Amino acid sequence: MTPGSLSSTSGTATASLAVRAGGGWLELPAPDGRALRFPAAWLRDNCPCEQCLDPVTGQRLLDLAGIPAPAITAAAVAAGPGEDRVVVTYAPDGHQSAFAWSWLAGHALDGTVPPDPRTEDAKELWQAADLGGLPSLPAAGWAAYTGDPAARAAILAAVLGYGVAVLHEVPAEPGTVLAVAETLGYVRETNYGRLFDVRVEPSPDNLAFTSREILPHTDNPYRDPVPTIQLLHCLRDAASGGDTLLVDGFAAAALLREEDPAAFAVLTATPWPFAYTDAGTELRACQPLIGTDPRGRIREVRFNGRSMQPLRGPAEQVAAAYDAYLAWARLLRRPELAVRTRLAPGDCLIFDNTRILHARTAFAIATAAGETASRSAPGDAGGRHLQGCYADLDGLASTLAVLCRSL
């Protein structure tokens, strides 16, 4: 908006606007009677005029650091369109910003800080009794998920809110897990490929590719950033064993904070090294086992005993870190925390890899002639076979937000 374009004023409302502190602050009343205060730099930076905000992209054109520090010289109320605007004039350039009154009220600097959607503050924390077994996990059939935007939105919202959802009747064909990932975002390719097979391998480079029990863990803690979503699609189940366990790591971390605040404090403040190496890969990352945001709220868990590296530091601190780590590891194994389920062919789990720990029980290696006959790839020994891939939460959240525009 250019100087001098103020079209009309409302005397009553104008009288209640006040410029304070030599033009440093604007005070005005909100519709609900609250007194709102905004600093001049904040107002100038959020100017919605076409010189400052590109009307096509919605991106900022203004370079606040490239202009003299603004001071408010006048404030008034102008009519419409739609609703009254608060028009602010700044020195030294006379620029004017016209803010919708409701926009200012909606962005009141009253101490309200919107929750980071990645933290515990935006989640539904759960223990096993809250979710029950697989039939009680947030679920949809593949046909409904792909054909009904509302069903798809409900599943994506469940992954954000509960950390996990399951799709049934996904065609049990190799490679389909990539099609599932592409419905919600973008596949994160890693050293394991665009997808990976979870089955018994003759020469495994990861214990996941054996029939051993795997304790609760998050994937790829040796990567920074970690893949934030994991998908696991069951193509064949085991004759016996191979059950899947899921633990809400945010609920578990909140429990640790309640029961052993000293251990929680140590784990959030101690970067722990992780590594993965094979013939063609050497990945390393060093992050706390429980990550918090700047306000101390739980934002990420990273836990995988298979790839933890020797912790270094002052001996007393390392000893305290081990005490905290063991308290955390034992807490994560409490049966009441884990939902135990058995994936059937066609089930596809989608979960937040920064929150949900997954585990599996040991399973029998197939030797029956019938299973051998169902091999799906050269060298496939038959038996339990999942295919997995990674994606990311930001892509999922974007997909959900766009879906919700038309629901």
Residues of the shown chain interacting with Fe ion in the complex, contacts defined by CB under 5 A = 219
The least distance separating Fe ion from the CB of residue 336, rounded to whole angstroms, comes to 22
CB 200 within 8 A of CB 210: yes
Q: How many CA atoms lie within 13 A of 315 on its CB side?
A: 0
Q: Between 88 and 349, name the residue whose CB sits nearer to Fe ion.
A: 349
- Alpha-carbon distance of 192 to 227, in angstroms, equals 12
Q: Between 85 and 302, name the residue whose CB sits nearer to Fe ion.
A: 302
The least distance separating Fe ion from the CB of residue 215, rounded to whole angstroms, comes to 10
Residue among 253, 401, 267, 250 nearest 324 (CA): 267
- Alpha-carbon distance of 185 to 150, in angstroms, equals 17
SS3 assignment, position 286: strand
Q: Between 227 and 382, name the residue whose CB sits nearer to Fe ion.
A: 227
- Alpha-carbon distance of 396 to 400, in angstroms, equals 6
Q: Between 219 and 300, name the residue whose CB sits nearer to Fe ion.
A: 219
Q: What is the number of the residue whose Cβ is closest to Fe ion?
A: 219
Q: Between 297 and 340, name the residue whose CB sits nearer to Fe ion.
A: 340
The least distance separating Fe ion from the CB of residue 223, rounded to whole angstroms, comes to 13
Phi-psi region of 217 (alpha: psi -120 to 50; beta: other; left: phi over 0): beta
The least distance separating Fe ion from the CB of residue 172, rounded to whole angstroms, comes to 20
Residue among 219, 215, 118 nearest 163 (CA): 118
Phi-psi region of 45 (alpha: psi -120 to 50; beta: other; left: phi over 0): alpha
How many other CB atoms are there within 10 angstroms of residue 292's CB atom? 20
Q: Between 85 and 360, name the residue whose CB sits nearer to Fe ion.
A: 360
The least distance separating Fe ion from the CB of residue 246, rounded to whole angstroms, comes to 11
The least distance separating Fe ion from the CB of residue 299, rounded to whole angstroms, comes to 20
